[in-house]
Amino acid sequence: MSQTFILDGKTISFADGQTIMQAATQAGVFIPHLCYHPDFKPHGSCKLCTVKVNGRQTASCTMRAIAGMVVESDTPEINAERLALTQMLFVEGNHFCPSCEQSGNCQLQATAYHLGMMSPHFDHFFPNRAVDASHPDVLLDFNRCILCSLCVRASRDVDGKNVFALSGRGIKTHLIVNAKSGQLADTNFTLDDKAAHVCPVGVILKKRRGFAVPIGERTYDKQPISATAKAVAEER
């Protein structure tokens, strides 16, 4: 780990092949992200992790670190763009935190807190999306989907089941279930699947565990999401 680059004025070490996101997280520096997950190949689609490398914008989850590069992340300009992206995610779906079981454990919500999102700013779409309660153990609430594709990657790459896919293009992109009926009950999806545990928002929810942990005592109630990177650094 002799190679380094500069991130917001701080020297960050990295190993060959590591991305900016991986190196930053190891060093305890938090870069906001939604579609990135350390266990999976990066998707580079949510753009929350956008940084400036030598003055040009790029996704830090897909960009490999190069010795001597100068990276800006925690700047008013980039954070304002991250905030606008987050606000767009909120108005495109139906994100009603008070009635969501994921509230307090939700990465979208915690990221919005981190970015100081006081309002959704834009006009709401209020889309009409049905829920899928067909599966005996799992509820799918598509109203909250942010199209991060983590369940798609987990089901395909880890579980080997291809239960989920993103269908359609542009604003019409949506999450689908790979069954003739389109229902989760008609797939071989189980609670043991990796895909059952990677949703950063409240789409894939285990049934019959509502309020097992009270509101106010959940993951991001206790500590801000930026503390997750520090925890990774301390474990090393």
Partner 1 sequence: MNAPKKKLKVATTSLAGCFGCHMSLLDIDERLFTLLEHIEFDRSPLTDIKTCSPDCDIGIIEGGLCNAENVHVLREFRDNCKILIAIGACAINGGLPAQRNHLPLTTILEEVYHTSPGLMNGMIPNDPELPLPLNKVHPIHEVVKIDYFMPGCPPSADTIWKVLTDLLAGKEPELGHGLMHYD
- What single-letter amino acid sits at 42? P
- Of the two residues 43 and 144, which places its CB atom closer to partner 1 in the complex? 144
- Of the two residues 42 and 93, which places its CB atom closer to partner 1 in the complex? 93
Closest contact distance (angstroms) between CB of 130 and partner 1 is 9
- Of the two residues 122 and 181, which places its CB atom closer to partner 1 in the complex? 122
Backbone φ and ψ of 227, nearest 5°: -75, -15
Q: Where are the beta strands (DSSP E) in 145-213?
A: 164-167, 174-177, 204-206
Closest contact distance (angstroms) between CB of 123 and partner 1 is 5
> If you ran DSSP here, which 8-state letter would residue 96 be given?
-
Closest contact distance (angstroms) between CB of 113 and partner 1 is 5
Closest contact distance (angstroms) between CB of 226 and partner 1 is 9
* Entry field: residues in the chain: 236
- What single-letter amino acid sits at 197? H
Residue 3's H or E segment, with its range, is strand 3-7
> If you ran DSSP here, which 8-state letter would residue 142 be given?
G
Residues that bind partner 1 (CB under 8 A): 90, 95-100, 103-104, 109, 112-113, 116, 118-121, 123-124, 126-129, 215, 221, 223-224
- Of the two residues 28 and 202, which places its CB atom closer to partner 1 in the complex? 202
What is the Cα–Cα distance from 193 to 117, expressed in whole angstroms? 33
* 3-state SS string for 183-230: CHHHCCCCCCCHHHHCCCCCCEEECCCCCCCCCCCCHHHHCCCCHHHH
- Of the two residues 129 and 174, which places its CB atom closer to partner 1 in the complex? 129
